[in-house]
């Protein structure tokens, strides 16, 4: 039982390049989330999904796209990377919070955009 | 919209001393409240959570937190801090729809020997 895994762990991009971050969970969770973490700002929600084939915008969605083609995977895409997207990205998964569970977090992906 | 404020960006305590980290939230209904800890270069680990019932919640590693509705607070406490507690601590509030956590900016804890 690996929990939540993220690929890659670290990446350097040049401005304008694209990339996809992969998140996978093996807990059969319906809900999945992508956050970014910046110093002094905590974690901010980028996009989330409440089930396979559905996605929704969070607090800071601009410049990102997501897809949830399979229940266990949640992809985060950057079509044209900008230096402002330098951050640490965390994926999480959960059952609905009303079931008194919490979100389980992956180890993070550190992204540097030059 | 929900929000969380952690007033203290940095806190330094001596090993063995008591600790209290402050968290204030804004949410229209009864909130779901969480404390997470993050060690350097690591992901977030849940310390404790409050959904309903007893307002004093016990968590892992000897931490506890008290929900005070009248003060919109959910402060984290530990009676005796260990050097291994040095980390960043995040308070979060969840909405009743069950699909979103809002985090505070975090408090970085340093422990002096």
- Which residues of chain B are within 8 Å of residue A4 when distances are taken between CB atoms? 43
φ/ψ of residue A110, rounded to 5: -95, 120
* Confidence band of B52 (pLDDT split at 50, 70, 90): confident
Query: Does A90 sit within 8 Å of B44, measured CB to CB?
Result: yes
Candidates B103, B104, B108, partner chain A, best to mutate (most A CBs within 10 A): B103
% of chain B with per-residue pLDDT over 90: 76
Question: φ and ψ at A9, to 5 degrees?
Answer: -85, -30
For residue A47, which residues of chain B lie inside 8 Å, CB to CB? Answer: none
Q: Can you name the residues that pair with A62 across neighbouring β-strands?
A: none
pLDDT confidence of B98, banded at 50, 70, 90?
A: low
Please give the pLDDT value at position A103.
87
Which is higher by pLDDT, A33 or B100?
A33
> Can you tell me the distance from the alpha carbon of B45 to that of A66, in angstroms, rounded to the nearest whole number?
25
Q: Is residue B39 scored above 80 in pLDDT? A: yes
Q: What is the pLDDT of residue A98?
A: 66
Query: How close does chain A come to B102, measured CA to CA in Å?
Result: 7
């Amino acid at each position: 039982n690996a929990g939540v895994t993220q690929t890659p762990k670290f990446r350097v991009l040049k401005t304008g390049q694209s990339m996809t971050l992969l998140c996978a969970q093996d807990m059969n969770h319906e809900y999945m989330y992508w956050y970014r973490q910046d110093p002094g700002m905590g974690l901010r929600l980028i996009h989330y999904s409440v089930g396979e084939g559905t996605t929704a915008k969070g607090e800071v969605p601009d410049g990102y796209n997501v897809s949830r083609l399979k229940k266990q995977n949640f992809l985060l895409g950057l079509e044209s990377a900008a230096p402002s997207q330098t951050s640490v990205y965390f994926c999480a998964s959960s059952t609905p919070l009303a079931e008194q569970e919490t979100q389980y977090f992956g180890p993070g992906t550190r992204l540097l955009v030059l | 919209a929900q929000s969380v404020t952690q007033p203290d960006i940095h806190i330094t305590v001596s090993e063995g001393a008591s600790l209290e980290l402050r968290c204030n939230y804004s949410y229209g209904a009864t909130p779901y409240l969480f404390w997470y800890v993050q060690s350097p270069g690591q992901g977030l680990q849940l310390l404790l959570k409050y959904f309903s019932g007893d307002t004093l919640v016990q968590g892992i590693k000897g931490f506890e937190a008290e929900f005070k509705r009248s003060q919109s607070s959910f402060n984290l406490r530990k009676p005796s801090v260990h050097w291994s507690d040095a980390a960043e601590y995040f308070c979060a509030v969840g909405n009743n729809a069950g699909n979103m956590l809002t985090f505070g900016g975090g408090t970085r804890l340093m422990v002096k020997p």
